[in-house]
Structure 1
Amino acid sequence: MTDRNDLEQDDAAVGSRNYREITDSRGRVYRVGETDRDVLGGHSRKLMVYLPWIAMMAISVSEYAYGSAEDTLAHAHHWTRSDTFWILSVWVFFQAGIAFPAGWLRERGILTARPAMYLGAALCLLGFAALSHLDDVLPAICGFGVVGGIGSGLVYATCINMVGKWFPERRGAKTGFVNGGFAYGALPFIFVFTYAFDIGDFHEVLDLIGVYVLLVVAGCAWFFKDPPKNWWPADVNPPNFGGNTKGAASLAKNPPAAKQYTPAEAVRSGMLPLMWVTVVLTAGVSVFGISFQVDFAKEVGFGPLVAASSMGVMSVVNGVGRAVVGWLSDLWGRKPTLVFVIVVLGLAQFGVIWAGEIHSEWLFLAFAFLSGFGGGAFYPLFAALTPDYFGENYNATNYGLVYSGKLVSGLFGGGLGSMVVTAWGYNGAYALAGGVSVVAAVFALLLHQPGRTRLRDVTPHPHPISRETT
């Protein structure tokens, strides 16, 4: 271990410039001595949980409430059901696709957190304006799908990366909490689109929602600030340096990355490609369940009950599940929790088949909710696992690469899922989805933290470090 004083200027830090950088035996650097309030000008880092959470709830209307608005949009603009499907599909593609280039720009200082949020907020407004005022489907796809998708993706990626950087010792629960807002935040808008949205007022409703997203996201962005590179909470001893501190239990289960991996190094480790493939498979099953659950229910005669279990309830299950598994991952460890979630998702697919065959409505609802739980809960786990494995300094780019698996899964779960349903029927398609989940769980079992292959690598050092600052 080396210990040196460092008083270099860092643009990310404000207030106190006094800190020390300590290096462990593997070369991992921890910047200690500065509190969160030193960096944030007197504010607690809890602000960097609540503000991203609020912003994520604001943008959730674009994806999770869209289905409730489809009928009115199709009637008002004279679109077909296929038209509305492609608008959302393009939105999903660009929402996921912007994560990597945005991360690349962010880590080079070209597009920092606050401007990224401002830009995302403005693009979201333009997206809703396009959905409101453009009758031709192609311009609407470009406006809401491309422009609005990029805007939402910028906000999503910035919020997830922000909370991960500020809570390196307890990022599971915090990331899950923030990520959950992206699902249940749409709940009030689902009711708006269901009961107060028709061809007589759809312009006003969509325009007002666009303004709402702009104001909320921009207001949250005003306070956004990244911590300095390698920053570590002043009241938490880094692993391998001893001491009983808060967050010690989570750090024992989820030790920080052995070093700060660049994207190229993360890819060469083999773990980032494995995570990407696992995201593709798991998200594909999730998209399949969301896309065909209602149709399958109607096929077996469960229409009224499925209507009762509205998308509003599903969004709550999906969002709360993300927060719960984030908390569990701090207790159980990130990888075991991920495997558990994927197994639950897979078993739910087979459970849906069973419920349909025996015509049990309550079993169908139970397994549908389990599918919704598993289909959302893996996202915050990957968001936390990425900096756990590869460090925080390049997390915006590394997580952008991992999250880009959602690009492929959208086609895999929707388009290919439709082909399988046509060829094999719903039972065959759900059985295949369950099998894909089993494969994804096996891939998840193969994940391991690069650079920490031995138990003694994560055993605390018997001598605690000093807490003096210079």
Structure 2
Amino acid sequence: MTEEPLSGTSASATKADAGGPGYRNVTDAKGRVYRIGETDREILGHSRKFMVYLPWAAMMAISVFEYAYGSAEDTLSAAHGWSQSNTFWILSVWTFFQAGVSFPTGWMREKGILKARQAMFIGSVLALLGFLSISHVNSVFGAILGFGVLGGIGSGFVYSTCINMVGKWYPERRGGKTGFVNGGFAYGAVPFIFIFNFAFDTSNFHTVLDLIGIYVLIVVAACAWFFKDPPQNWWPAEIDPLKITAGSKTAQSLLKNPPATKQYRPVEALKTGMLPLIWVLLVITAGVSIFGISFQVPFAKEVGFGPLVAASSAGVLSVVNGIGRGVVGWLSDIWGRKNALIFVILVLGFSQFGVLWAGNSKNEFFFLLFAFISGFGGGAFYPMFAALTPDYFGENYNATNYGIAYSGKVISGLFGGGLGSMAVDHWGYDGAYILAGVLSLIAAGLALFLRNPGYPKGKPVLQDAQPVSG
């Protein structure tokens, strides 16, 4: 087994400074700095695996906001006298703020204004207020302010902090880890989907919603206590970034997903053209996904399926949505992030036509099958974007860069939820689902233009060269 340096490194690469007794900084030929020598246990006091499991648990807790809300809408409407359009817009406002706060959260974290632990604590309190508002406030405006604005901001603080945390601690093989954490944001809602469908009515909705809010508060706050970012430029001590062992899992991942050639500041990332393209792709794919989440249960009921099929389709969508994120994240370390993303977007697009056909055919088996496929495609693109961003632009400014990319969900929430409702009103489910499918196929075509801005087309990441001394 041979050892080969990353493309662009040179045998003259040396440490830039001593840095301190526990680490040193090394610089490759492209000028990227890696801080090596410190282990995760020296920094955290325990394994960095905790920075996967804790964000995962927190993401599971806040998933009830988005993925179970659709199953609660009928009871909320009956309890408060809201129309279907009212409940859809409440979720749309939540989506707007959940995604919109990602950029300012990232900016404050990178400026040192907001620590990861603080962001999580604030998020947990705001999440509680969100559920208390739809439990005790009858006015639509009050629910929009409480659940949509406060709950959205709280969820956004938690989401963006968790996603960036795992990427910082696993810079060498982030696909599978990011997908695993991101998956919790979907299947964590499954128990609540069934609670809302079978044990939630106007006689107990106060108690159920209050308890859910308290649950979210406790889980997120408990996880927050242990959150800590690694130092800037940190790289795992056991992996020399200038000397990768060929044939290892790390080498395989870096071959398909080369690390960023520099730490791009947000303005620099925007100028490459790749960050704006990622934003556009996220707008389209997240919009289609939110449409499916919002309308799958109403569509199932519209065509005459019973509550068990409707609830099961939503449960299947959430489970596969979450598991799919982990699976595709792992596969992206093998296939490459871009190839995995294109595959997922195609699955999302074609599944929209399948759900529509099965519903119109009143075929319960195929409806659940296509719900399964739609759920897979409707979530797995999120960890791809979350991993692509630091792959292309580095980790130091990833909280801000990914915040810009994820802000595309602000637009997605508008046309996926609120405008999706208008599309159903004007064109029926047929027109709305066909439009969703076509938009996904367009996004798959646009994704072909993605490339790591620091590498010429077709240039290998690992190449034959003399080993670089440590």
TM-score by length of 2: 0.92
Q: Return the match for 1:19 from 1, 14, 23.
A: 23
Q: After superposing the two structures, state which structure 1 stretch, 360-369 or 119-128, moved more.
A: 360-369
Contact 1:130-1:140 within 8 A present in 2 as well: yes
- 1:43-54 equivalences in 2 (<5 Å): 43-54=46-57
Distance 1:117 1:37 in 2: 22
Describe the SS at the equivalent of 2:245: coil
Aligned to 2:36: 32
Aligned to 2:119: 116
The runs of 5 or more residues in structure 1 that have no matched partner are 10-16
Relative distance call for 1:367 and 1:196 in structure 2 (3 A) is closer
Q: Is structure 2 residue 275 aligned with structure 1 residue 311?
A: no
Aligned to 1:4: 15
The alpha-carbon deviation at position 192 of structure 1 amounts to 2.8
Q: Return the match for 1:56 from 45, 55, 59.
A: 59
Aligned to 1:374: 377
Distance 1:201 1:414 in 2: 27
Describe the SS at the equivalent of 1:292: helix
Q: After superposing the two structures, state which structure 1 stretch, 27-36 or 412-421, moved more.
A: 412-421
Describe the SS at the equivalent of 1:256: coil
Distance 2:169 2:157 in 1: 19
- 1:41-440 equivalences in 2 (<5 Å): 41=45, 43-238=46-241, 241-244=243-246, 245-298=248-301, 300-303=303-306, 306-307=309-310, 309-356=312-359, 359-440=362-443
Describe the SS at the equivalent of 1:260: coil
Distance 2:211 2:302 in 1: 38
Aligned to 2:455: 452
Q: After superposing the two structures, state which structure 1 stretch, 428-437 or 342-351, moved more.
A: 428-437
Given residue 396 of structure 2, which amino acid in structure 1 is its aligned partner? N
Q: After superposing the two structures, state which structure 1 stretch, 188-197 or 440-449, moved more.
A: 188-197
Describe the SS at the equivalent of 2:25: strand
Distance 2:343 2:80 in 1: 44
Aligned to 1:441: 444
Q: After superposing the two structures, state which structure 1 stretch, 349-358 or 372-381, moved more.
A: 349-358
The alpha-carbon deviation at position 355 of structure 1 amounts to 3.4
Describe the SS at the equivalent of 1:447: coil
Q: Deviations over 1:401-429 (max 9, x none)?
A: 11111111112223433444444443333
Describe the SS at the equivalent of 2:263: coil
Residue identity (%): 69
Given residue 379 of structure 1, which amino acid in structure 2 is its aligned partner? Y
Distance 1:163 1:385 in 2: 13
Aligned length: 458
Describe the SS at the equivalent of 1:31: strand
The alpha-carbon deviation at position 48 of structure 1 amounts to 0.3
Distance 1:366 1:388 in 2: 34
Aligned to 2:3: none
Aligned to 2:465: 462
Contact 1:164-1:392 within 8 A present in 2 as well: yes
Contact 1:242-1:461 within 8 A present in 2 as well: no
The alpha-carbon deviation at position 35 of structure 1 amounts to 1.1
The alpha-carbon deviation at position 278 of structure 1 amounts to 0.7
TM-score by length of 1: 0.92
The alpha-carbon deviation at position 466 of structure 1 amounts to 4.3
Distance 1:296 1:189 in 2: 20
Distance 2:308 2:133 in 1: 34
Describe the SS at the equivalent of 1:399: helix
The alpha-carbon deviation at position 358 of structure 1 amounts to 5.0
Q: Deviations over 1:52-107 (max 9, x none)?
A: 00111111112212223223323333333332222211111110110001001111
The alpha-carbon deviation at position 181 of structure 1 amounts to 0.5
Distance 1:77 1:420 in 2: 25
Q: Deviations over 1:325-364 (max 9, x none)?
A: 1111111010000000001111112223443565544333
Relative distance call for 1:153 and 1:417 in structure 2 (3 A) is same
Given residue 23 of structure 2, which amino acid in structure 1 is its aligned partner? Y
The alpha-carbon deviation at position 5 of structure 1 amounts to 5.3
Describe the SS at the equivalent of 2:14: strand
Contact 2:297-2:314 within 8 A present in 1 as well: no
CA RMSD of aligned residues (A): 2.1
The runs of 5 or more residues in structure 2 that have no matched partner are 1-9
Describe the SS at the equivalent of 1:451: coil
